[in-house]
């Protein structure tokens, strides 16, 4: 293998694919990045066995070939060479020479025969969505996935594609996030569970614009095609929880509140609850006021926010972090809070549409 490429292009590609490198693995080759030179392109790819990222860049190819380089070292080394034209030469000892200006480095490479292949998706089943919508869908739901290993199926988001709409659902046993976005087109109605780690990396690669991206699905695999970059992930297998049965359609207490004022008040009220390590904030809803109170050994805080109330007064308590995380990812001017009792969950929705729904379980108050 012998080629010359732009240092900035190479560094950018290495940074992208290195997100799929396995950091904790008994198989050292999964810490590597595969380089393949052919047809005027250098293709870089990495996988941890669950997630695979592939990126193509233009290159002057003098001799085609492929090798596996140690990913972490290669990435750190190239960070200092972004302004250079870089020459890569693989010798007969499976060592990669990196030539730049009047200097050079040399890396011992892995045997390509030991590198695990990642199945290519050839399915024609797909859905198409604006990049900004898919990025938004992920970011507004992914924070609610479970992070412990007790229920592995909840470490992913349920994506439901139906009638030119996609839903993303995430839950961890304490709260639920449901977000909807329109599709540009689709030829499939399907439900799949995508690992949160994979969705997080996809979101980072998506530009926040209205360009359309295609996502392909094949059995237990999903692939997103970003022109010169492809991300492929295995899907989680199993049955997701029946989230629809825990969402009520009728509520006895309905509150409309300014989102920014609510968020700021909640941030201040939770300062003491963090010190107390329970993160509990009490909500007292009465007439035109929502009172937020928290207590700890060093004092207490009481915040008042104006509201529009329809229905019954209510006193209820929550882990403030769950509220703040769903408020941070939304820019709506007003949100609606819906309740039934002090022991039933709260539903957070937009004031004017049904783009998202967050369900948050209350915390039992000790009198």
Domains of the chain are: 2-114 (3.10.150.10), 126-244 (3.10.150.10), 247-360 (3.10.150.10)
> b vs e for 158-173, b when ≥16 Cβ sit within 10 Å of the residue's Cβ?
bbbbeeeebbbbbbbe
Looking at the predicted structure, is the pLDDT value of residue 235 above 70?
A: yes
Burial degree of 249 (CB within 10 A; 0-12, 13-18, 19+): exposed
Distance in angstroms (rounded) separating the CA atoms of residues 260 and 303 = 14
Q: Residue 87 burial by CB count (10 A; 0-12/13-18/19+): exposed, middle or buried?
A: middle
Confidence (pTM): 0.91
- d(CA 92, CA 95) in angstroms, rounded, equals 7
Among 117-121, 217-221, 232-236, 318-322, the range scoring the smallest mean pLDDT is: 117-121
Instruction: Identify whether the C-beta of residue 294 lies closer than 8 Å to the C-beta of residue 300.
Output: yes
As a dihedral over the C-alpha atoms of residue 95, residue 96, residue 97, residue 100, rounded to 10 degrees, the angle is -160
- The sign one gets for the Cα dihedral 253, 242, 150, 203 is negative
Are the C-beta atoms of residues 354 and 180 closer than 8 Å to each other?
Answer: yes
Provide φ and ψ at 274, rounded to 5°: -70, -40
List alpha helices for 87-180, DSSP H.
Answer: 131-139
Query: According to the model, what pLDDT value does residue 273 have?
Result: 66
pLDDT of residue 243: 94
Looking at residue 299, its pLDDT comes to 80
User: Which residues 6+ apart lie within 8 Å of 23 measured at CB?
Assistant: 31
pLDDT band at 26 (very low <50, low <70, confident <90, very high): confident
pLDDT, average across residues 46-58: 94
Residues 184-220: tens digit of each pLDDT: 999 999 999 999 999 999 999 999 999 999 999 998 9
pLDDT category at 22 given cuts 50, 70, 90 is confident
pLDDT tens digit sequence for 311-320: 999 999 999 9
């Amino acid at each position: 293998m012998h080629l010359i490429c732009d240092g900035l292009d190479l560094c950018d590609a290495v940074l992208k694919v290195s997100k799929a490198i396995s950091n904790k693995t008994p198989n050292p080759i999964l810490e590597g990045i595969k380089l393949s030179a052919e047809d005027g392109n250098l293709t870089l790819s990495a996988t941890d066995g669950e997630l695979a990222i592939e990126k193509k860049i233009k290159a002057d190819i003098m001799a085609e070939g492929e090798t596996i380089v140690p990913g972490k070292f290669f990435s750190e080394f190239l960070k200092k060479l972004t302004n250079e034209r870089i020459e890569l030469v693989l010798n007969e000892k499976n060592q990669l020479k990196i030539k730049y200006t009047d200097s050079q480095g040399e890396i011992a490479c892995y045997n390509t025969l030991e590198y695990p292949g990642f199945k290519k998706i050839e399915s024609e089943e797909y859905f198409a969505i604006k990049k900004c919508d898919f990025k938004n869908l992920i970011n507004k739901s992914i924070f609610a996935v479970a992070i412990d290993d007790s229920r592995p199926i909840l470490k992913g988001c349920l994506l439901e594609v139906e009638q030119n709409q996609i839903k993303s659902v995430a839950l961890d046993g304490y709260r639920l996030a449901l977000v909807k976005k329109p599709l540009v087109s689709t030829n499939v109605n399907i439900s799949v569970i995508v690992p949160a780690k994979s969705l997080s990396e996809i979101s980072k690669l998506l530009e926040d614009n209205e360009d359309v991206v295609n996502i392909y699905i094949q059995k237990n695999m999903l692939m997103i095609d970003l022109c010169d970059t492809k991300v492929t992930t295995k899907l989680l297998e199993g049955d997701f929880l029946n989230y629809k049965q825990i969402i009520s359609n009728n509520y006895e207490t309905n509150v409309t509140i300014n989102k920014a004022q609510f968020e700021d008040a909640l941030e201040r009220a939770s300062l003491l609850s963090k010190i107390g390590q329970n993160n509990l904030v009490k909500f007292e809803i009465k007439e035109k006021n929502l009172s937020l109170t928290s207590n700890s050994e060093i004092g207490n805080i009481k915040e008042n926010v104006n509201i529009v109330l329809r229905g019954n007064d209510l006193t209820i308590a929550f882990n403030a972090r769950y509220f703040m995380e769903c408020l941070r990812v939304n820019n709506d001017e007003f949100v609606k809070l819906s309740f039934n009792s002090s022991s039933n969950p709260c539903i957070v929705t937009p004031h004017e549409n049904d783009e998202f729904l967050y369900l948050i379980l209350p915390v039992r108050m000790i009198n």
